[in-house]
Structure formats: structure tokens, C-alpha cells
């Protein structure tokens, strides 16, 4: 029933080889990986103006030069990440760049800050989108958390159905928003050059603020405007999602995204200043602009509708980026290996589900408030920008790269370090301090996970003490996930029963793994035949059941026993870091009514030395 429900909700299981057909086109890639960046133009200008309000409307002229500087930064950072996607096509962005060039701690620092930022992106985007909904329908305000969590569940379902399918779903609203912004800016510029723009009433009646324009106010405004740059790194994290040539297509998409982002952000900021837009508690800056230029026409409502939708969909960038970064960390042993598993629709389903749960929790803790979440935002982004560009500088030095590229990357590094310092300092006492213990805690946790996996690998290593051999003399099948000490111990354990027939079976998911397993097995267990079955759709259980039924029919006088090696961690909590495949196999084999096969789990406990005796031999 569960399997049928799963197929109905997210679709049929796909074979691994079908992944080439699930790759994204450039247009789909921009819709999935660029939506966070593009959506930030809906509020970045307003954040600048809000920060300048204490100094009065006269200070609003600073918003234009700030927008120009931020736009230049957008292109500098985008250029740096274009180099990243060519140099590190496996994805992972700042984590891989820092790991290769800066060492373990900077890599974990960049990786953890990136994961936190992806979680915050979902929480902030959903909170902002729900705020837009409840502004239009005040009666829904008390249900904002439930609505936000419901939207997260909807995005989770869409992404579990597959990357390409979600790209098709999100493409229309993203490009509708881009077209709406282009129409708004184009119409505004034509009106500006052909005649005076209307000055909004709020601007006419506004007076000077109560504070003197200070460097602190300017820095706060600049730091607030830098929220326009969030999401630029997402493309470098998701390079493998693109069609071949992956790096080239990712770089093109990144450049187009930077052009769109910079143009819309600069255009909106320029027109907001020329129109005299003043932030209001009742209407957003971008809505006031659209109202002034479009009136109450249908175009205004199309623009507002596309803005609301893209703010909700901005969270989707994280659903592509978080699982990819988590899988890179898991591959290196810093996160649970479950994040490496491709789901039935060829996406990192465990990463998607983890992101959903964490973001929903954050939304609940902060009561769905954008203002409570926003101080935590962008700090991690600029930390990642800085580490990535520093890593690329060292990369160019090691590989004697292009001097011009290294110079531009260095300028970008200096700029993003400065921005990081400004953002962190100005937002520290507004909540950004929380990121310090949060990042430190995640790094400590990742190091503990790495230590556990290292200990397990050392314990199971074939380099340790060899196992004694006994003369074979009933039908037993050893289920082998990897050729390690646990598998060899299970074979030795089976031999104690002196079976008439002893075989082993392994389910491989690709050809390379098949050859590697065969070679290792032949080297260490030459006297026991190993059957290697390839599972195109990564399903371990169905092939094993089919195989055991075939074995059961080969020798009618023998009973069949499936021998399942089971690693038992020293610490009970470490069980969550393992897939519990042995328990699932035992349950599936024993619950099949058509299968007359017994199971024998062979536990191998951590830190228990192999003495050359099995439990049966010790008892004797």
C-alpha cells in the first residue's frame, strides 16, 4: 500500500540510466536555480530605503549609487562563480573550492554556512510570500504558520517528483515575473525620458528624518541592499543538474541570471528614487511603483500576482541546492550517508525531506515573521562568497591560471570580504550573532560524524587480521553489500554450518561497481561463488527476492538460509547514521508468503576484535 501510494504521489521509479534525460536545459536551470536571486529584486530596494529613512527622504538619493555598486558586485561574484563551475563541475560550490584549496575547516565553514543559508532561504521566502497573502486577506493572518508549512509541503512534493518536472512547473511564473519587471522598467524609463514622472504624494509630504546621515546608516542601507545577491552561488552548487556540456551551460545560465538580476535591481531602484517612493507599512515599494505607472489596470494585478508567486517559489532554489551540497558532504563522510541516496525519481530525496523539516521548524519557532528571520539572512551568503573567491585565487596560483581572471577574482574577494564585515557588523545585534554558535555546532557535529565513519571503515578494513578458513561441507546465501570484514566474517560464519552449497550475492547499481566488487571478492574469497546482479533502478530488495526464489528451486532437498551481515555501532545513537538495510532485508524476506527462506543475521559489533572464532565456536 505504501509503495502504491508513493508511486501515485511522485510517479514511477526511474532507472539510473534515465538521469541523462532528467538534466535541465538552460531555461529550466534559470527557473530553478535563479528564482531566489531574481525574486530578491522584489524587496532589496525597499530594504535600502527603509534603512535610510532615519536620515530622511533627502538621503534616498544614495540608493542609486548603492544599487550601482551592488550591481557591479553581482557581476564580480558571478564571474568568480563562472570559474568555479568550470574548475569544479561536480558541484558543491564553495565547499569543493575550499576543500581543494583552503583545507578542511574553511570547507566545513563554507559548507555549513551554505546549508544554513539554504534553510533560511526557504523560511524567509515562504514567510514573505505568506505575508503578501495575509496582507490581501487579513483573516488568514492567524493561520500564517499553517499556510507556510502547507506551501513547504507542496514544494517538497513538486521536487520529489524530479528536477526536470519541477523545472517545467516553475518556469512559467519565473519568466512571467521577469517579463512583468521588464515591462514596468521599460515603461518607466520611456516616461522618464519623454516627460516628468509623477511624484507620489508620500514623497511630496515627506520631511527630513530625526537623525543625521551617518556612516552607520549608510552601511546599514548598503548591507540591506546586498540581499539582492542571495542565491548567486546556487548555480555552482548544481552544475551536474544541467545537460551536457554541464559546465558550459551552467556558466551561461549564471551570466544570464546576473544580467537579469542586475538590470531589474538597478532599474527598480532608479525608478523608485525618481518616483519618490517611500516605504510604507501597508504597501510594498515595488507595488507603489507599479501602481504609479500602471494604475489599477489588469497589468498591475498581473505584476502583483507574479511577484507574490515568485516570492513563494524563491524557496525552490534551496530544494535544488541543499540536497546537492548535503550529498557532497555525505560523500566525504561529514553527513549521514543517507544523503547520498538517489530517490526513485533520481533526486536526493532525503536531502529534500531534511530541508523541508528544518525550514518548517524554523518557520514555527520564529512565528512566521519575516522581520525576525531577515537579520540571519545574507551573512552566510557573503561568507561563502569570500571563501569561494579566496579558494579560486589559490586555484589560479597553483595552476598558473590567467592573470587577468585572478585579478578580477581578487577584486571580487576584497569586495565581498568588506561586504561580509559590513553585513555581519550591522546585523550582529539584530540576530546575526545566532549564526556563530549555529555554524560552530554544525561543524562540530560534522566532525563527529566523520570520525564515526572513519572508525567504522578502519574496523571493517580488509587490511586487518585475516579470518581462519575451515573446510566447506547445506544451501546458504550470503547477502553482500560491500566486500569488507563484515562480509568475510559472515561467509566464515556460514561455513561453520557445513552447507552443501554456499554462494554469495551482490546487487550493483552500475557497471563500474560490478567489476570492482567481482575483483575484490575473487581476491579475498576465491572459494565461494559470487553472483552480481545489476539493478538499473537501484532497487535492492526485488532482485534479492527473485534471486532467492530461484536458488530455492535449484535444490529441492535443501532448505535455503539467507545470511545477512549486520554492523552494530558501539553507540546506539550512531544507528541513525546507517541505513538499517539488514533489518529491512530480514523483514522483507520473512514476510514474503511465496518465499520459503530463513534468515540468519550475523551481527558484527564495533570495537569487538576478531579472535578467529565465531559465537558458535566460542560456545563450544
Assess contact for 549 and 476: CB atoms under 8 A.
Answer: no
What pLDDT shows up at residue 62? 92
555: confidence class by pLDDT, cuts 50, 70, 90: confident
* The most confident of 19-28, 281-290, 482-491, by mean pLDDT: 482-491
Assess contact for 93 and 84: CB atoms under 8 A.
Answer: yes
Lowest mean pLDDT across 182-196, 222-236, 284-298, 460-474: 460-474
Q: Can you count the helices (H) and strands (E) in the chain?
A: 26, 5
Same fold, 17-451 and 465-619: no
- The string of pLDDT tens digits covering residues 516-530 is 888 999 999 999 999
Class level of CATH domain 17-451? mainly alpha
Lowest mean pLDDT across 179-193, 243-257, 573-587: 573-587
C-alpha 112/C-alpha 437 separation (Å) is 12
* The most confident of 32-41, 42-51, 99-108, 398-407, by mean pLDDT: 99-108
What pLDDT shows up at residue 355? 94
> Residue for cell digits 572508525?
455
Which of these, 453, 450, 459, lies nearest to 606 by C-alpha position?
A: 459
DSSP conformation class of 474? -
What pLDDT shows up at residue 194? 87
Average pLDDT of the chain, as a whole number:
83
405, pLDDT greater than 50: yes
* The most confident of 81-85, 165-169, 614-618, by mean pLDDT: 81-85
360, pLDDT greater than 90: yes
C-alpha 452/C-alpha 260 separation (Å) is 45
What pLDDT shows up at residue 611? 56
- CB atoms under 10 Å from CB of 481, counted, come to 18
606: confidence class by pLDDT, cuts 50, 70, 90: confident
Name which residue leads in pLDDT, 211 or 328.
Answer: 328
What pLDDT shows up at residue 607? 67
Name which residue leads in pLDDT, 438 or 430.
Answer: 438
What pLDDT shows up at residue 104? 92
401, pLDDT greater than 70: no
169: its cell numbers? 512547473
Assess contact for 71 and 63: CB atoms under 8 A.
Answer: no
Query: Strands of 501-508's sheet, edge to edge?
Result: 530-534, 501-508, 475-479, 560-568, 597-605
Q: Helix, strand or coil for residue 224?
A: helix
Average pLDDT of the segment spanning 133-152? 84
Average pLDDT of the segment spanning 329-340? 92
Is the four-CA dihedral 380, 76, 261, 273 of positive or negative sign?
positive
82: confidence class by pLDDT, cuts 50, 70, 90: confident
Residue 114 host element (H or E)? helix 104-136
Average pLDDT of the segment spanning 558-581? 82
Is the four-CA dihedral 257, 178, 305, 199 of positive or negative sign?
positive
Measure Cα distances from 571 to 3, 160, 444, 456, 576 in Å.
32, 32, 17, 12, 10
DSSP conformation class of 142? G
Lowest mean pLDDT across 54-58, 314-318, 368-372: 368-372
Q: Terminal CA-to-CA distance of the chain, rounded, Å?
A: 46
Which of these, 435, 126, 155, lies nearest to 320 by C-alpha position?
A: 155
What pLDDT shows up at residue 348? 85
- The string of pLDDT tens digits covering residues 544-553 is 999 998 888 8
One-character DSSP codes across 33-68: HSHHHHHGGGTHHHHHHHHHGGG-GGGGGGHHHHHH
Q: What is the largest CA-CA distance in the chain?
A: 101
- CB atoms under 10 Å from CB of 407, counted, come to 12
178: confidence class by pLDDT, cuts 50, 70, 90: very high
What pLDDT shows up at residue 189? 92
CATH topology of domain 465-619: Rossmann fold (3.40.50)
Reported residue count of the chain is 620
What pLDDT shows up at residue 472? 47
620: confidence class by pLDDT, cuts 50, 70, 90: very low
C-alpha 47/C-alpha 224 separation (Å) is 5
DSSP conformation class of 23? P
182: confidence class by pLDDT, cuts 50, 70, 90: very high
Beta bridge partners of 563: 478, 600
430: confidence class by pLDDT, cuts 50, 70, 90: confident
Name which residue leads in pLDDT, 69 or 433.
Answer: 69
539: confidence class by pLDDT, cuts 50, 70, 90: confident
Which of these, 577, 366, 558, lies nearest to 474 by C-alpha position?
A: 558
Average pLDDT of the segment spanning 226-230? 84
Q: Helix, strand or coil for residue 138?
A: helix
Lowest mean pLDDT across 207-211, 396-400, 457-461, 550-554: 207-211
471, pLDDT greater than 50: no
16, pLDDT greater than 70: no
470: confidence class by pLDDT, cuts 50, 70, 90: very low
C-alpha 84/C-alpha 395 separation (Å) is 10
Catalogue the E-assigned strands of 409-559: 475-479, 501-508, 530-534
C-alpha 118/C-alpha 321 separation (Å) is 7
C-alpha 110/C-alpha 97 separation (Å) is 9
Average pLDDT of the segment spanning 467-489? 77
219, pLDDT greater than 70: yes
Residues of the chain above pLDDT 70, percent: 89
Average pLDDT of the segment spanning 497-510? 88
DSSP conformation class of 165? H
Average pLDDT of the segment spanning 266-278? 91
* Domain boundaries of the chain, sorted by first residue: 17-451, 465-619
Amino acid at each position: 500500500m505504501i509503495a502504491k501510494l508513493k508511486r501515485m504521489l511522485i510517479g514511477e521509479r526511474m532507472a539510473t540510466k534515465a538521469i541523462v534525460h532528467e538534466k535541465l536545459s538552460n531555461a529550466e536551470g534559470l527557473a530553478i536555480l535563479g528564482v531566489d536571486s531574481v525574486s530578491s529584486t522584489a524587496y532589496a530596494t525597499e530594504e535600502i530605503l527603509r534603512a535610510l529613512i532615519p536620515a530622511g527622504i533627502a538621503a534616498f538619493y544614495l540608493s542609486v549609487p548603492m544599487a550601482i555598486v551592488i550591481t557591479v558586485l553581482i557581476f564580480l561574484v558571478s564571474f568568480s562563480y563562472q570559474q568555479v563551475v568550470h574548475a569544479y563541475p561536480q558541484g558543491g560550490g564553495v565547499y569543493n573550492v575550499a576543500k581543494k584549496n583552503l583545507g578542511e575547516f574553511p570547507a566545513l565553514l563554507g559548507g555549513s554556512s551554505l546549508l544554513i543559508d539554504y534553510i533560511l532561504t526557504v523560511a524567509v521566502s515562504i514567510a514573505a510570500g505568506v505575508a503578501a497573502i495575509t496582507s490581501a486577506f487579513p483573516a488568514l493572518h492567524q493561520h500564517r504558520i499553517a499556510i507556510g508549512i502547507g506551501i513547504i509541503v507542496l514544494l517538497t512534493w513538486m521536487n520529489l517528483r524530479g528536477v526536470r518536472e519541477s523545472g517545467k512547473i516553475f518556469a512559467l511564473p519565473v519568466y512571467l515575473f521577469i517579463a512583468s519587471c521588464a515591462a514596468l522598467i521599460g515603461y518607466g524609463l520611456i516616461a522618464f525620458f519623454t516627460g516628468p514622472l509623477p511624484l507620489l504624494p508620500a514623497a511630496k509630504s515627506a520631511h527630513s528624518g530625526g537623525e543625521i546621515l551617518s556612516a552607520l546608516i549608510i552601511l546599514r542601507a548598503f548591507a540591506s541592499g546586498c540581499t539582492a545577491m542571495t542565491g548567486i552561488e546556487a548555480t555552482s552548487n548544481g552544475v551536474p543538474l544541467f545537460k551536457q556540456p554541464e559546465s558550459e551551460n551552467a556558466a551561461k545560465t549564471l551570466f544570464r541570471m546576473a544580467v537579469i538580476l542586475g538590470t531589474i535591481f538597478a532599474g527598480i531602484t532608479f525608478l523608485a528614487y525618481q518616483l519618490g517612493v517611500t516605504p510604507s507599512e501597508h504597501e510594498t515599494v515595488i507595488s507603489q511603483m507599479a501602481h504609479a505607472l500602471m494604475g489599477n489596470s489588469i497589468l498591475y494585478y498581473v505584476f502583483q500576482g507574479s511577484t507574490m508567486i515568485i516570492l513563494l517559489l524563491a524557496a525552490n532554489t534551496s530544494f535544488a541546492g541543499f540536497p546537492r551540497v548535503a550529498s557532497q558532504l555525505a560523500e566525504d563522510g561529514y553527513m549521514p550517508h543517507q544523503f547520498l541516496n538517489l530517490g526513485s525519481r533520481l533526486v536526493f530525496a532525503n536531502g529534500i525531506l531534511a530541508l523541508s523539516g528544518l525550514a518548517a521548524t524554523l518557520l514555527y519557532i520564529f512565528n512566521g515573521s519575516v522581520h525576525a528571520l531577515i537579520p540571519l539572512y545574507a551573512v552566510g551568503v557573503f561568507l561563502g562568497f569570500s571563501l569561494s573567491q579566496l579558494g579560486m585565487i589559490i586555484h589560479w596560483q597553483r595552476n598558473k591560471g590567467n592573470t587577468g581572471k585572478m585579478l578580477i577574482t581578487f577584486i571580487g574577494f576584497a569586495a565581498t570580504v568588506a561586504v561580509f564585515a559590513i553585513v555581519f557588523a550591522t546585523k550582529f545585534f539584530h540576530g546575526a550573532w545566532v549564526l556563530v554558535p549555529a555554524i560552530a555546532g554544525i561543524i562540530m557535529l560534522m566532525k563527529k560524524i566523520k570520525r564515526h565513519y572513519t572508525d567504522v571503515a578502519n574496523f571493517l578494513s580488509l587490511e586487518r587480521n585475516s579470518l581462519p578458513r575451515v573446510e566447506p561441507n547445506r544451501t546458504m546465501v550470503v547477502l553482500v553489500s560491500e566486500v569488507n570484514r563484515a562480509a568475510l566474517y559472515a561467509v566464515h560464519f556460514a561455513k561453520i554450518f557445513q552447507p552443501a552449497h554456499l554462494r554469495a550475492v551482490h546487487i550493483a547499481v552500475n557497471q563500474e561497481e560490478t567489476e570492482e566488487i567481482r575483483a575484490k571478492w575473487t581476491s579475498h574469497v576465491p572459494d565461494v561463488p559470487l553472483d552480481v546482479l545489476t539493478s538499473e533502478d537501484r532497487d535492492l530488495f526485488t532482485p534479492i527476492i527473485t534471486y532467492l526464489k530461484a536458488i530455492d528451486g535449484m535444490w529441492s532437498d535443501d532448505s535455503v538460509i539467507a545470511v545477512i551481515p549486520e554492523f552494530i555501532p558501539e553507540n546506539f545513537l550512531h544507528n541513525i547514521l546507517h541505513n538499517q538495510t539488514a533489518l529491512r532485508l530480514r523483514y522483507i524476506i520473512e514476510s514474503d508468503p511465496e518465499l520459503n527462506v530463513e534468515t540468519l543475521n550475523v551481527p558484527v559489533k564495533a570495537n569487538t576484535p576478531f579472535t578467529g572464532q565465531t559465537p558458535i565456536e566460542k560456545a563450544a
